[in-house]
Chains A and B, each alone.
Chain A
Amino acid sequence: MFEIRCPYCGPRDEPEFKYGGQAHVAYPADPELLSDEEWARFLFVRDNSRGRYAERWNHAAGCRRWFNVIRDTGTHELVGSYRVGEQPEDAR
């Protein structure tokens, strides 16, 4: 279990949050133009890297808002959190 800093509520224990996977996955601008391969990529393929990872969390047992976290998938170190609309470099 680790502690996550909700940008709205402050630091709370992990069980208060729900995980939302990779952050900054944009919906395709012209989905009707995508090939099956490109559509499959958008639907099913997410970054699965080791190291610093931008990911979405929801403060389900708190303010219930979505926000982003930078976390190291190799060590579970939490680098920082930032609000939707902000960029990874805003993480603190």
Chain B
Amino acid sequence: MELDPNEHALHNAPFLWRTPEPKKSYEAIIVGGGLHGLATAYYLAKNHGMTDIAVVERGWLGNGNAVRNTTIIRSNYLWDESAAMYEHALKLWEGLADDLDYDVMFSQRGVLNLAHNLHDVRESIRRVEANRLNGVDAEWLDADAVKEFCPIVDISPEARYPVMGATLQRRGGIARHDAVVFALGRAADALGVDLIQGCEVTGIDVVDGRVAGLQTSKGPIAAGKVGLVAAGRTSLLTAMAGFDLPIQSHPLQALVSEVYEQVLNCVVMSNAVHVYVSQAHKGELVMGAGIDAFNSYAQRGGLHVIEEQMSAGMELFPQFSRARVMRTWGGIVDVCPDASPIVGLTPVENLYVNCGWGTGGFKATPGSGWVMAHTIATGEPHELNRPFSMTRFETGELIDEHGAAAVAH
């Protein structure tokens, strides 16, 4: 049966957004209806007054990485360029529910990054100092203070990887990712953005070095400007426009346990043991770890990777041995050689790209959308994304967050 949104609305269950057919042309089109795409569209409309725009999404909103991430938000990155970008995002998170008039359940419960050896301790303290110099809140806690902040972490010296301390970002935390999809989609729609689902891009029209429009499963759509915000599938799109990016697509897996009483009051991440854990508002323990090493576009990975992250989780929280896994899943992440994103101009005029967020894009959502909207609207990168250009691989000005960013990628 075909659902009529208006009919449905009569039954007191209004849809959050319209489901329009594409117009013949738009001032700008965003390819990819994930969180960064929705945020880009929202800020294009809100900050730059561009409302003749569409988001085209091959699946449906709230289908891809938008709802496959582990919902962690923090800005404690080592390098200046990253700290500026993620801190901008964190400040936007702090006002996002009010701005969008929708509770995204942003909970600033604090993020611990554990140190398990002398090297970790030195790197952690260095990062705390770097964060403070960049105006990012950061503290160093010794093992006893870690225990006080997060009572269920095992800090006994007999542990295989003893906890020697941790960095703490109190303003970090989690949000409910589905709610962020709902909030951004609704707000963008209300400003006039067409959110077009089930619309796969099959070609990018380039005329005299300038983007002219898209070929899609719903027919051709002309566009003055196009922003590619397609995460793990960005390479497939840029190939249509005739250029390559230095990104590789990998599966990244996560899992949730069955629902338990609230036992974990903050986010705990460990680089050496390699797991990150939090507890969702509803009560599931949420765990993630590293990528499956191989290239893939299939949204799944190997069980041995899940096994490794669970054994790492058990190392830190022996009591979790009795927790039961409810669900595991994978998403496709786009990883850059320096573990930093590419946001900016491309060799094709009026075609812009926002990708390479790899394993950590969720936290950047509003900041990423903000700077991408600026880039599309003005044709020039925002001050915050200027260093994240694709030309940095030629100039050597890499932003090497591998390991530096408080988590291994």
A residues adjacent to B (C-beta < 8 A): 1-2, 14-15, 18-19, 21, 36-37, 39-41, 43-46, 48-50, 53, 55, 71, 73-76
Contact = CB atoms under 8 A, between A and B. Distances in A.
A36 B298 CA distance: 34
B235 interface: yes
Given A14-B304, A45-B246, A75 B295 contact: no
Interface string B198-240: 0000000000000000000000000000000000000110010
Given A1-B304, A2-B302, A14-B304, A44 B297 contact: no
Interface in B27-57: none
B245 interface: yes
Interface in B238-262: 239, 244-249
B246 A76 contact: no
B16 interface: no
20 contacts: A1-B303, A15-B302, A19-B294, A36-B394, A39-B394, A40-B393, A40-B394, A41-B244, A43-B337, A44-B246, A44-B393, A49-B235, A49-B236, A49-B239, A50-B236, A50-B297, A73-B294, A73-B296, A76-B298, A76-B300
Interface of chain A: mostly helix, strand, loop or mixed? mixed
B395 interface: yes
Contacts of A53: 295
Interface string B4-23: 00000000000000000000
Given A40-B393, A50-B236, A18 B302 contact: no
A41 B303 CA distance: 34
Interface-centre pick from B245, B337, B394, B395 (highest chain A CB count, 10 A): B394
B363 to A, nearest CB: 24
Interface in B241-298: 244-249, 293-298
Interface of B: 235-236, 239, 244-249, 293-298, 300, 302-304, 337, 393-395
10 nearest A-B residue pairs (beta carbon): A19-B293, A44-B246, A48-B235, A1-B302, A40-B394, A40-B393, A50-B297, A36-B394, A15-B304, A44-B393
A48 B293 contact: no
Contact of B298 (A40, A49, A75): A75
A48 B247 contact: yes
Given A45-B246, A45-B393, A73-B297, 13 more contacts: A1-B303, A2-B302, A14-B302, A14-B304, A19-B294, A40-B246, A41-B244, A43-B337, A46-B246, A48-B248, A49-B235, A55-B295, A76-B296
A45 B248 CA distance: 9
B291 to A, nearest CB: 10
Contact of B249 (A1, A2, A14, A48): A48
Contacts of A14: 302, 304
A45 B336 CA distance: 10
A37 B304 contact: no
A44 B356 CA distance: 13
A74 B294 CA distance: 12
Contacts of B249: 48, 73
B248 A71 contact: no
B357 to A, nearest CB: 15
